[in-house]
Amino acid sequence: MNIHLLDVTIVIVYLVAVLVFGLWVGRDQRTSTDYFLGGRSLPWGILLLSIVATETSTVTFLSLPGIPAALNGNLTFLQIAMGYIVGRLLIIYVLLPIYFRKETFTAYEVLESRFGKLSRRLTSILFLFTRNLSDALRLFLTALVLQIVLGLDLTVSVILLGLITIIYTLVGGAKSVIWNDSIQFIIYMLGAGAAFTIIILNTPGGLQNLLQFATETDKLHLFDFDFSLTKPSMTFWSGLVGGAFLTAATHGTDQLMVQRYLSAKNQRDASLGLAFSGVIVFLQFAIFLLIGIALAGFFTQIPGPSPLTSGKGDQLFAYFIVNYMPIGLAGLTLAAVFAAAMSTLSSSLNSSATALINDVWLPLCKAEVSQHNQLCAGRMATAGFGVVQVAIAILVGVIGTTESTVFNVLKIAGFATGPVLGLFLLAVSASRVKQPAALLGFVAGVAGLSAVAVGTDFYWPWYAAVGALLTWLAAWSIQLLLGIGEGSGNPQTGADT
C-alpha cells in the first residue's frame, strides 16, 4: 500500500492537534465534578455530537461498510438503527427522570438507592470489565489502520494511539473528552463524505453504474420481516425489538453514555441531546452502509486484484483510502478514522475512571476523601485503564480474530448490559423485589443468557432483550416463591441500612 508524505503529515498533525486541544479545553480541573462531569454545564448540542461520536468508533467507520460489501450483503443491518431510536425514547421517559432526582455521578448509584451497595458495586465492576474489553477491540482495529499508514509495527501503533488518548483524557477530564468528541464528529463525517464522493467519481460509469450494480445484486434490499429468532442476518423484528433493548441497555445503564446525560445542564438538555442523536445515528449508519455498497461496485468494475476476495471486510474501506484517495484527502479521511476511534476510547477511559472511583473506591474509604485526592485518584485510574486496553489490544493482535469486529463488539454489549438492564427495570417497576432476590435474578439472567448464547442459534441482537427479561422474571419469581429479603433493608428504598 502506498501513502504520500503529505497524507502522513496530515495524520500526524491531526493527532498532535487533538492532544493540544484536549489539554487546553480541560485545563483548570479543580473538583471531581469538573473532572468526571464537566461541571454539569455542557449544552445539549455538544452532548448530542458527543453521544454520536462516542458510539461511532472505528468499528462503525471501517467495519460497517464491509457488511453490505460482502457477498449477498445489503442494507438490512440498517433496521437495527430503527430500534436504536425506540430505545432512546424509552430511556428518556423511564430512566432519565431517575438520574436527575439527585446529583449522581454514575448510573449505578440508582441501584444502591433502590437495592443496596452490593448491587451498585457488582454492576459497576461488570461495566468496567466489559467496557474495557470491547474498547480494546476498537483500539486494535484502529491500530491496524495506523500500521498501514505509517508502516509501524502493530504493537507500536497500539501504544501510540493509546498514549495520545490517555494523556488528553487524563489531564482534561470529561470536558476535554466531550468537546473533542464534537470536533471529531465533524472531522470523521467530512472524511466519510469525501471518501463517498471519490468512490462515485472513480467508478467507471459513475453513480449510474453503481446504482445498476446495487439493483442487480439486490444490495439496496432494506426490510426483512422474517419472524425467525435464529436467522443469522438482521430482520425488522430483531432490529426493532432487539435494537431497542440493546440501546436501552447500552445508553440507559452503561456509564459510558449516562455520564454524558449527567454532564448536561438539566434533564431537558439531556433528553434533547439523546433524542436527536438517534436520528443522526440512523442517517450515519445509512451513509456508511451505502459507502460499503459503493465500494463493492467500485472493486467489481475496476481491473486487477480485488480486496473483496480476501474476506477481510474490516480492512476494505482502509484499503480504498490508502490506495485510491487523492493526496491530501487520504490524509483527511485517515484522520477521520482516528477521530472516530479516539472519541470512543477517551470516553471509555473517563467513564471507567468515574465508575471505579465513585462506585468502588470512595464507598470503601472510611474517612472523607478531599477533592484533590479524588482528582489524583481519577487521573491514576484513567492511566491504568488506558494501559489495560492497550495490553488487551496487543493480545488480540497476537491471537487474531476471524469475525467482523462490529459483530464482536455488539455481542459483548448485548451480553453484558442485558442483565443489567433487567436490574434497572426491577428498580423502576418492581417495588416488592429486594436486593437478594434481585441479585439472584441477575445471576440467573446471566446464566440463562449464557445458555442461550452457547446452546442455541439466537441471533446476537436478541441477547440484550433475553438477558433483561430473564433477569426481571427470575428476580420476581424468586421474591414471590421464597420471600427473600422480606422485612429487611430500608422500607422506602430497599437499600441496606
Please compute the mean of the pLDDT values over residues 135-146 and round it to a whole number: 80
Is there a domain that residue 323 lies in?
Answer: yes
What is the CATH classification number for the domain harbouring 205?
1.20.1730.10
How sure is the predictor about 402, in pLDDT bands with cuts at 50, 70 and 90?
A: very low
Is it the case that residue 401 has pLDDT exceeding 60?
no
- The per-residue DSSP string of 405-443 comes to HHHHHHHHHHHHHHHHHHHHHHHHH-TT--HHHHHHHHH
pLDDT at residue 488 tops 70: no
Please name the residues in contact with 217: beta carbons below 8 A apart, sequence gap of 6 or more. 296
Task: Say how far apart CA 164 and CA 342 lie, in whole Å.
Answer: 9
Instruction: Write down the pLDDT at residue 292.
Output: 92
Total domains, the chain: 1
Which residue shows C-alpha cell 438490512? 76
The pLDDT of residue 494 is 42
Q: Classify residue 443: in a domain, yes or no.
A: no
DSSP per-residue letters across 348-393: HHHHHHHHIIIIIIHHH-SSPPPHHHHHHHHHHHHHHHHHHHHHHH
* Cβ-contact 462, 247 below 8 angstroms: no
pLDDT, averaged across the chain: 84
pLDDT at 1 over 70: no
pLDDT tier at 495, thresholds 50, 70, 90? very low
| DSSP string for residues in 275-305 | HHHHHHHHHHHHHHHHHHHHHHHHHHHSSS-
Which residue from 64, 118, 474 is spatially nearest to 293, judged by alpha carbons? Answer: 64
Taking every pair of C-alpha atoms in the chain, what is the biggest distance, in angstroms? 75
Which residues, in sequence order, are CB contacts of 399 under 8 Å at separation 6+? none
The answer to whether 337 touches 328, Cβ cutoff 8 Å, is no
pLDDT single digits (tens) 56-97: 766 677 778 888 988 788 999 999 999 999 999 999 999 999
Distance of CA 16 to the CA centre of its chain: 24
Task: Return the minimum-mean-pLDDT range out of 44-53, 364-373, 381-390, 469-478.
Answer: 364-373
Residue 313 pLDDT level (bands cut at 50, 70, 90): low
Q: Which cell numbers hold the place of 218?
A: 439486490
Query: Exposed/middle/buried for 37, CB within 10 Å: 0-12, 13-18, 19+?
Result: buried
Q: What is the pLDDT of residues 315-354, one digit of tens each?
A: 788 788 878 888 888 787 777 777 777 777 888 898 999 9
Q: Which of 4-8, 81-85, 201-205, 232-236 has the lowest mean pLDDT?
A: 4-8
The pLDDT of residue 180 is above 50: yes
- In three-state secondary structure terms, 232 is coil
Say how far apart CA 103 and CA 94 lie, in whole Å: 17
pLDDT at 466: 93
Nearest CA to 247 among 139, 103, 95?
Answer: 95
**What does the pLDDT average to over 42-51?**
90
Question: For residue 252, which of 103, 94, 445, 128 has the smallest C-alpha distance?
Answer: 94
At residue 491, does pLDDT exceed 80? no
Task: Give domain status of residue 458, yes or no.
Answer: no
Is it the case that residue 222 has pLDDT exceeding 60?
Answer: yes
Is 215 among the domain residues?
Answer: yes
Q: What is the pLDDT of residue 407?
A: 57
pLDDT reported for residue 496: 42
Tally of residues, the chain: 497
Return the minimum-mean-pLDDT range out of 24-28, 226-230, 313-317, 406-410.
406-410
The yes-or-no verdict on residue 210 having pLDDT over 90 is: yes
Other Cβ atoms less than 10 A from the Cβ of 471: the count is 30
What amino acid is encoded at 480 in this protein?
Answer: L
pLDDT tier for residue 141 given thresholds of 50, 70 and 90? confident
Report if residue 353 sits inside a domain.
yes
Is residue 406 over pLDDT 60? Answer: no
Indicate the pLDDT class of residue 412, thresholds 50, 70 and 90: low
* Host domain of residue 100: 5-400
- The CA distance from 68 to 70, in Å, is 5
Higher pLDDT, 310 or 149: 149
Asked if pLDDT for residue 460 goes beyond 80, the answer is yes
Three cell numbers written together for 166: 490517555
Residues in contact with 485: Cβ distance below 8 Å, sequence separation at least 6, in sequence order:
434, 435, 436, 437, 479, 494
Q: Report which of residues 156 and 315 the model is more confident about.
A: 156
Q: Is the pLDDT of residue 414 over 80?
A: no
Per residue in 255-303, pLDDT (tens digit) is 889 989 999 989 999 999 999 999 999 999 999 999 999 999 998 888 7
- C-alpha 493/C-alpha 111 separation (Å) is 10
Task: Specify if 480 maps to a domain.
Answer: no
Cβ 277 vs Cβ 88: under 8 Å = yes
Task: Measure the N-to-C terminal CA separation of the chain; round to a whole number of Å.
Answer: 64
With respect to residue 427, please indicate whether it lies within any of the assigned structural domains: no
Question: pLDDT at position 486, please?
Answer: 54
Share above pLDDT 90 across residues of the chain, in percent, rounded to a whole number: 36
Examine residue 348 and state whether it is found in any structural domain, yes or no. yes
Task: Please tell me which residue, 322 or 405, carries the higher pLDDT value.
Answer: 322
DSSP code of 444? H
What span, in angstroms and rounded, lies between the C-alpha atoms of 211 and 220?
Answer: 9
Range from 175-179, 322-326, 488-492 carrying the lowest mean pLDDT: 488-492
d(CA 280, CA 283): 5
pLDDT higher than 60, residue 311: no
Q: Are 177 and 412 in contact (CB under 8 A)?
A: no
Contacts 24+ apart (CB under 8 A), 278-283: 278/81, 278/84, 278/85, 278/87, 278/88, 278/89, 278/247, 279/85, 280/48, 280/52, 281/52, 281/55, 281/56, 281/81, 281/84, 282/78, 282/81, 282/82, 282/84, 282/85
